Structure 1
Amino acid sequence: MFKKALLALSLILLSTLHSKANFDFNSNCVNAYNAIFDLRIKDAQSLLKKEKSANPNNAIVALLENYIDFFTILSSESKADYNRLKSNRDSRLSYLAKQDKNSPYYLFAQAEVYLQWGLLKSRFQEYLSSGFDVKKADNLLSENQKKFPSFLPNKKSSGLIDVILGSIPSNVKGIASTFGFSGNVNNGIKTLESLMSSLSKSNYGFYTDEVVFFLCYIETDLLPDKSNYNKIMAYTNRMNSQSLLKSYLQGYVASRNAHNDSAIAYLAKRPRGSAYLDFPKLDYLMGSAKLNRMDTDANVYLASYLKEYNGINYVKDGYLKLAYYYLLRGDENHYQAFLKMVKSQGDLYDEKDKQALKEANDARPDINLLKARFQFDGGYYSKALQTLSGKDVNDFKLLRDKTEFHYRLGRIYDELSRDNEALIEYQKAIYAGKNTSYYYAANAALSIGHIFEKRNDKARAANFYKQAIAMKNHEYENSIESKAKEGLKRMGY
């Protein structure tokens, strides 16, 4: 009788254990994860279907399906995709909360879902909800770190959160702190960079591409520093050569760091085929880079982007770039046609689109200033200087153009390390444009602050940072003011 009871109890226990999710990141799941980070989403879905059939209780599948939603929305930036998929967040969290609490993936997987949806919500300006999702992820990761201190994947996400919360703008940090939002950008970056080497020596090496993905955005958008360019590109070289995400990151980082020719080369080599996720933003990057270089086929890529893209960002900017492409070629009809599209199409989520609409409603740009601007954006500083050579401020009728002329020369001289000439032009831009709604004067003051900060002349640097803050009601006001306040903070003011 006792033996029968013992046998029955054993069978019940075995059945219970079998029904529990085992969070098995097996080779099939690793292959699916790698396919996701190559943006081969169909391949990933096929592998996950196979995993569900073989191991129906493996909760890693739910986590990887959330990654697929994350990259689907991130690449399309479509409000329709976001609304269609966002209910998956709650159902996955509910499912994961019922799984094996003794696994290091139990809290971690829930944190990942919160973090990924927190990042997506911020793309659609749901900032408060986004912040609470990121904070919830942070709390779960902290708890998981105490339970499983040697679980390396924890550091991947906690490092990113440290950067996100540490980069909250100065003007809202006080409010954010009352909700418990606090972080440290430098600590977060150190965590991620240290993880790059430790992952390769562990069983979690497959997470390397994700860490590279984070570092590319952090060091390109949150903490832009052109001196880090080679380091960032070295990170991307570790990624699979057939990864579409790798092509995007390399093109994006190169274009943002004024390595325009490299950006075009990276984007031209991108892998193609039906296996890959649709990613129209690569055509936007290519068209923008080719416009900077004055290539005759820039319009082809910009038009392709606008045809294929159904998202919320860079539609107005894309149409404005097309308008400027034709303006630079003297095609008045196409210029006017695309200028009308700027006013009627797209949304105003991103600063670039807000700026595009303002420019479309303003007086047409001076051809030489426009050409120099694109050349500057591409890193062709000597060409930009040549475009403006022989010009005098009196050649321009509008105050906007007079201010931009001095500002653009200042920026060019700054990048060519001709600091004294840059300072002179920046000062002229401040004098001419300090009472206008254009960003030139405020950004000139910010740039002078940077030059004096590099020289360790803190008093003068602080003076110009304060000037940048004092200028109000201009383009990019929040961004410029935040950078100026960060500059004052760095110097102890």
Structure 2
Amino acid sequence: MARKLVLFLLFSFSLLPGAYAAFDLSTNCKGAYSEILNLRLDLAKHYLEKEKLANPKNDFIPLLENYVDYFYILSCDDKSIFDKLKKNKSNRLSQISGGDKGSPYYLFAQAEINLQWALLRGKYQEYVASALEIKKAYNMLQENMEKFPEFIPNKKGLGMVNAVIGSLPSGAQKALGTLGVHGSTIRGEKMLEELVSNLPGSPYAIFYDESVFYLMQVWVNITKKKQAFQKIYLLTDKMNNDSLLKLYIRAFSAFRTGHNDEAINYLIARPKNVEYVDYPYLDYLLGMAKLHKLDFSAQTDFQHFLNGNAGGSYTKDAYLNLAYIALLQGDSLSYKTYLSKVQLNGTTYDEKDKQALNESSEGVPNGSILKARFLFDGGYYERAKSVLEKENANNYKQKRDKIEYCYRFARVFHETGGMNGAIKFYQYTITFGQDAKYYYAANAALFLGDIYVGKRRYKMAADYYNKAISMKNHDYESSIENKAKEALKRIAGKY
């Protein structure tokens, strides 16, 4: 009788949803996830192999294996590896789909896998497949929010989807809208901010590092928060000091927000032992940070990047910057050699490489304006202003140089609080450059719109935003146009 009771209980428990396949955030899975976010991917794989032996039906395994592929592709930036590894997606989703439908991780895990591949496909211009995966991820996370409203990790993917979609050109937003996917940058940013605030001390605290990574991307790349670096620095204080992701988050946010010296210090001090995934982009980033300081030892960092990058994104831009270093050092032969490499090597998936390809065929740039541009991008505004003040734009032979001179001076004034000077030189930029193929005039109109919003002169602001939209066939056209349209939405009804 006792034996029959035991067999009955075993049979009954085998019918429970989790008995066939469960989401068990075991010690091994926690270790794997932590090492993935530390960017020690081989250690993460070691934990996953141990979990496969101990609990082969754990549905966290395919999710975490997908994380490994995602971060590996991001770090190596090799299209051939992306093409090889994307075949793993369907098997992982198939395994999870047979799992515990009563778990909040059931839809969450499938959405995460779809979202990760959507982001990677977007990087490699597989836009249709990316849009369909975003739709799947979005719908799954929305459904999961309804089923499990207390499961706050839902906000990680939903926040990122909203922020990214809200920043897309209007045409892309409309296309996704026909699929039932709608996004708002403001809503997405708020979701991620709330998530990062609520995760510490919660049952889902393990997702904190990744959520900070996403929030940093939104603050730095999309909403351009003025105090992003200071906020990110405080948020990352809770992260493991051995984490290469922590270093990247701090270095990248410092680099993009005018804290160039801090970026250099972080990147020089980064861990380089063999446990960490090879991440050539960090050499590129260090090279850029040094170049923004006019430290021409950046040449070595760009070469290290090119040696490890195998022709992926930023290859053209790295060669262009090597050409500019040669030009500023008076080495015309190397300048021409590197320019030819811009034409022959790399891809144009990234906007930086498209811009590099265009610049490489525009003739020799003015050295002083080039220095001012680098210094400005590094946040060295007074040094940039000093370089420009020594120039006389009337002596420039190329129209491009005159347009860029006005634009660079306007940007320096704008960042240092000289609004009257900024307005004057932005207007000069538009006058000289509105019919040219360069982005300077369109961006000048966008900045003028922002200035007049700050002055509450909304009609004037709207006029400049519309002017920015009206300029066509220039670099960054879709990006500038979308920013102007978003700005018009924000001031609608105020003029």
Q: TM-score range by the shorter chain?
A: over 0.9
**AA in 1 matched with 2:9:** S
Q: CA deviation at 1:312?
A: 3.0
Residue number in structure 2 paired with 1:277: 277
Count of residues paired in the alignment? 492
How far the C-alpha of 1:155 sits from its partner, in A, is 2.2
> 3-state DSSP class of the match of 2:32?
helix
Could you tell me whether the CA contact under 8 Å between 1:79 and 1:311 is conserved in 2?
no
Aligned to 1:336: 336
> Counterpart in 2 of 1:372?
372
Question: Corresponding residue for 1:113?
Answer: 113
Contact 2:439–2:477, Cα closer than 8 Å, also in 1: yes
Whichever residue aligns with residue 74 of structure 1, its letter is L
* 1:296 shift after superposition: 3.1
Q: Distance in 2 between matches of 1:174 and 1:472?
A: 20
The aligned residue for residue 461 of structure 2 is 461
Task: Give me the whole-angstrom Cα distance separating, in 1, the residues matched to 2:349 and 2:94.
Answer: 31
Deviation at 1:15, TM superposition (A): 5.0
Question: How large is the Cα RMSD of the aligned pairs?
Answer: 1.7
Amino acid at match of 1:437: K
In the alignment, what sits opposite 2:309? 309
Residue pair 1:76, 1:311 contacting (<8 A) in 2 also: no
CA distance in 2: counterparts of 1:214 and 1:311, whole angstroms? 26
Partner residue, 1:238: 238
Aligned sequence identity (%): 45
Q: Which piece of structure 1 moves more, 28-37 or 174-183?
A: 174-183
Residue in 1 that maps onto 2:403: 403
Alignment partners' CA distance in 2, 1:294 and 1:163:
34
- CA distance in 1 between counterparts of 2:472 and 2:178 reads 27
Question: Could you say which residue in structure 2 is the equivalent of 1:220?
Answer: 220
- What is residue 74 of structure 2 aligned with on the other side? 74
CA contact (8 A) 1:19 1:57 kept: no
TM-score, normalization: structure 1? 0.96
Contact kept? 1:452, 1:461, Cα under 8 Å: yes
3-state SS of the aligned residue for 2:379? Answer: coil
Tell me, what secondary structure is at the counterpart of 2:150? coil
Q: Alpha-carbon deviation of 1:34?
A: 0.7
- Call closer, same or farther: CA 1:435–1:165 in 2, change over 3 Å: closer
Q: 1:430 deviation in Å? A: 1.1
Which of 468-477 and 368-377 deviates more?
468-477
Distance 1:386 1:211 in 2: 41
Partner residue in 2 for 1:12 = 11
> Which residue is 1:474 aligned to?
474
Query: How far is the alpha carbon of 1:286 from its aligned partner?
Result: 0.1
Q: What pairs up with 1:118-197 in 2 under 5 angstroms?
A: 118-197=118-197
Cα 1:7–1:380 change in 2 (3 A) is: closer
Q: Which runs of 5+ in 1 are unaligned?
A: none
Corresponding letter in the other structure for 2:76? S
Shift of 1:19: 5.2
Residues 404/197 of structure 1: CA separation in 2 closer, same or farther (3 Å cut)? closer
Match of residue 422 from structure 1: 422
Structure 1 residues 200 and 366, CA gap change in structure 2 (3 angstroms) = same
Query: Secondary structure of 1:296's partner?
Result: coil
Query: More displaced, 447-456 or 2-11?
Result: 2-11
2:443 aligns to what? 443
CA deviation vs aligned residue, 1:340-373 (integer Å, no higher than 9, x gap):
1001101111121111111111110011111111
The letter of the residue matching 1:452 is Y
2:394 counterpart of 1:394: yes
Q: List runs of 5+ in structure 2 lacking aligned partners.
A: none
Instruction: Provide the rounded CA distance (Å) in 2 between the counterparts of 1:376 and 1:427.
Output: 19
CA deviation after TM superposition for structure 1 residue 5, in Å: 5.9
- CA shift, 1:276, in A, is 0.5
Relative to 1, partners in 2 of residues 1:45 and 1:4: Cα closer, same or farther, differing over 3 Å?
closer
How far 1:176 sits from its partner (Å)?
2.6
Q: Is the CA contact 2:228–2:253 (under 8 Å) kept in the aligned structure 1?
A: no
Moved more, 147-156 or 209-218: 147-156
Give 1:6 deviation, angstroms. 5.2
Paired with 1:471 and 1:296, the residues of 2 have a C-alpha distance of 36
Report the CA distance shift for 1:375/1:7 in structure 2 as closer, same or farther (over 3 A): closer
SS at match of 1:226: coil
Deviation at 1:3, TM superposition (A): 7.2
